[in-house]
Amino acid sequence: MHTRVTSVLAITLLILGFLGGVAFLSTLGSHSKSTQSAQALTVSPQAKELLNEFSSAFEAAAAEVNPSVVPIFSEQVTVVQNPFGSSEDPFRQFFGDDFFKHFFGNAMPKEQKQTVHALGSGVIISRDGYILTNNHVVQGADKLTVVMGDKKKYTAKVIGTDPQSDLAVIKINATDLPMAQLGNSDSVRVGQWVIAVGNPFQLMHTVTAGIISAKGRSSMDLAEYEDYIQTDASINPGNSGGALADLDGRVIGINTAIYSPSGGNVGIGFAIPINMARKIMEQLIAKGKISRGYLGLLPQDIDDDLAKALKLSTTSGSLVGDVTAGGPADKAGIKRGDIITKFDGTTIDNSTQLRTLVAQASPGSAVKVTVLRDGKEKTLTVTLGERPTNTSGGARGQESPQEEASKKLGLKVQTLTPDIAKQLGYEKDHGVVITSVIPGGSAEDAGLRQGDLLKEVNKADIRSVDDFNRAVSGLHNGDAVALLVRRGSNTFYVALTVGG
């Protein structure tokens, strides 16, 4: 028995000893791997120096531009209805007049004044107090207050606004201010590092970093004239009017808007190029208003289908969808169906570029416009007029009335020309051809397609884009519209709801 126990004890000790050895070796191996990992994670002095230099570039840029970016506090007094001051109020009906008289007396005002506070940003552009910002930062404000870095407050006055580009200039009574250095937005490159400076969510002088994601963004429905720089540098509410700057601290854009399904930053922000902003700013300071060149035509982009139908080798240029009778383009001999390929020496890629160039030109100036007509280039001299503004002072004007119609019905149209009619089989007919259907719009919901011919709007005969715009101009959201449509050899009515 004793011998047996001794044998079991010896075997147990042997096993324990073996397991201990394995554990010891495992610990040694783990320690060795940990040491190797630590050695692998060691950063060389050269790498640290490179990273520090990279960081220093952002630090220097922020130090350069930060003092010139200021918060702008706006106050607007609005009149709101008192929910307890109306006889139509459901609470009054439930509790009765005696209840309200007991607690509130007979002096229950039906309207009350309420002050709405908002915060935006601005960029100091002169040492004597001129500040560039967004129009929507100052629009409707009864009082504007600018706070400097030393906490000193100034009341600002509006020098001029331009809703069509969403820019404004305000001024404070001060001197020796830290003025921003303005860069050249035409020379910026996609992928270039930038910083955004502003006051998001009342967090003053916030600096974020990112890159330029794209240039020339338009059709964002943010303003009449759009040529935005897109960036993934974080832009949030309160950043509007602040600076987008390069790593030299030069302002290359005015932060304006974000794309955000959730209301917060998702890495898609838009800034107005500083070259565009500078021209508008100079006019606002000099005259308090903007005068834009006017061509008097309806420009239209050319897609692949339209290029094929018109037998074009490229989609570049701007197709003249319609010409305003008696306008500058009409007087110079530009015709519907012409394709504008150059304006004042600049090659035209699309309609947005053309409209921006025309707007930036001075009214009364004579410019060379090259058009493609029947396969041949022709250069005409146009004396630009001054672009009319609508009576409401809003962002939309007469040069592109179809943009309003497009928003209302969710489609874009082109006057039926003989060439298009031949390609689509609509010879000896009239109307406007749908060139594109906006996803999610009323037209798409109603089943309309690209290539459909619209012949009537609410029984009104349509023979041109002008006819179509006139028929649509009086419609309001929620109105029902009856369209007579031809598709191929079939003609039928389609009903849709404006803005639906």
Residues acting as catalytic residues: 136, 166, 240
Both structure tokens of 273: 């190029």
What are the CA-CA distances from residue 306 to residues 110, 339, 410, 436, 441 (Å)?
Answer: 58, 12, 19, 10, 21
Cα angle: 182, vertex 183, 186; to 5 degrees: 135
Rounded Cα–Cα distance for residues 332 and 387 (Å): 16
* Amino acid, res. 80: V
Specify the DSSP class assigned to residue 169.
Answer: E
Phi and psi at residue 420, to the nearest 5°: -65, -40
In DSSP terms, 207 is beta-bridged to 197
Reference 488, options 459, 452, 447, 458; nearest CA is 452
Rounded Cα–Cα distance for residues 402 and 122 (Å): 33
Reference 373, options 340, 417, 413; nearest CA is 340
| Relative orientation angle of helices 274-287 and 351-360, to the nearest 10 degrees | 30
HSE-CB of 317 using CA atoms within 13 angstroms: 23
Pairing of strands 181-182, 167-171: unpaired
Rounded Cα–Cα distance for residues 464 and 415 (Å): 5
Q: Give me the helices (H) in 112-174, please.
A: 135-138
Rounded Cα–Cα distance for residues 371 and 353 (Å): 15
- What is residue 72's three-state secondary structure? strand
Rounded Cα–Cα distance for residues 237 and 271 (Å): 14
Residue with tokens 């320690």: 31
First-to-last CA distance in the chain? 97
